[in-house]
Amino acid sequence: MRRLVAAIAILATCATTSAASILTVRGEARLEVPADQFSVTLGATATASTVKEARTEVDATMSKLAKVVTASGLTRDDEWHTSRYDVTPKWEPRPPRAQGSTWTPKIIGYSVRSSIAITTQQMDLAGTLIARAAKAGANEISALSFSLADPRSSRADAIKTATKHAITDATTLADAAGVGLSKILQLSLDGAQATPPRPVEHRYMAAKMGREAFDMDMESAPDITGGTVTVTANVTAEWEITPIRRVETQQLGSTD
């Protein structure tokens, strides 16, 4: 009697013994994260014929600003501090027909400038602080900027996302090319950064308008929102790849 066993096709994967081939993939991530803190500088500038007069005016305004900021619930040193105090002489302009060796410039006054810098996570205070500072006499309110209190946390999320994208793309590419991913040979971070939204311009100069008009203009707090911070990361990964081939084996029986 003869017995015949049908051939069976078996699919197997085999790694080649030749030099390793490499697949390189770059993963990218771009996350939009809501800003959770803002920074602003509130200040006062005064010009007078003497330093004392200019200082008296500026110091009075800065005292009011300090009270406004404290009353708004901000903590000194932790959320606000004095950022500058400058005294600058004002020189007499050179007459059009003055002789170079005979004319000597003279100080005709002094400008005193002081400001406090604020950085806080109390986002709802942004517009309120600007309005209150203006009413307190601030004639310089610098560009308002928004950022992240803990940028490294969002940076880590972007790196993880970029790495996942690299792995997904490498797997897709390998499957399409009919090769297998053996192991990661190199993994590098090309860059990860947080880009805040452009500063909101809020520069008020009371000297350029009447005090009454200035107060009227700042009667209510401006509606200000923080927007989002763009966090990006780029990851490059290199894999060792191996070919996948189909091997057909047959198991033959015998016929008796």
- CATH number of the structural domain spanning residue 147: 3.30.70.2970
Residue range(s) defining the domain that contains residue 234: 21-92+106-243
Q: Does 131 map to a domain? A: yes
Is the predicted pLDDT of residue 212 greater than 70, yes or no? no
Q: Does 174 map to a domain? A: yes
Helices and strands counted in the chain (H then E): 4, 8
Q: What is the mean pLDDT of the chain?
A: 82
Is the predicted pLDDT of residue 244 greater than 50, yes or no? yes
**76: DSSP letter:** B
Q: Does 41 map to a domain? A: yes
Q: Does 16 map to a domain? A: no
Q: Does 33 map to a domain? A: yes
Q: Pick from 125, 116, 118, 122: which is nearest to 224 by CA?
A: 125
Q: Does 256 map to a domain? A: no
Q: Which residues pair with 120 in a beta bridge?
A: 38
Determine if the pTM surpasses 0.85.
Answer: no
- What total number of domains does the chain contain? 1
Q: Which of 5-14, 60-69, 133-142, 212-221 has the lowest mean pLDDT?
A: 5-14
Question: Per residue in 102-134, pLDDT tens?
Answer: 778 899 999 999 999 999 999 999 999 999 999
Cβ-Cβ contacts under 8 Å for 87 (sequence gap 6 or more): 51, 54, 55, 110, 111, 112
Q: Does 6 map to a domain? A: no
Q: Pick from 117, 131, 120: which is nearest to 223 by CA?
A: 131
β-pairing verdict for 228-243 and 179-195: antiparallel
Q: Which region, left, alpha or beta, applies to residue 248 given φ > 0 means left and ψ of -120 to 50 means alpha?
A: beta
Question: Per residue in 160-185, pLDDT tens?
Answer: 999 999 999 999 999 999 999 999 99
Q: Does 250 map to a domain? A: no
Question: Per residue in 52-72, pLDDT tens?
Answer: 999 999 999 999 999 999 999
Query: What are the angstrom distances between the C-alpha of 140 and each of 77, 159, 171, 206, 235?
Result: 21, 40, 56, 8, 43
Q: What percent of the chain shows pLDDT beyond 90? A: 65
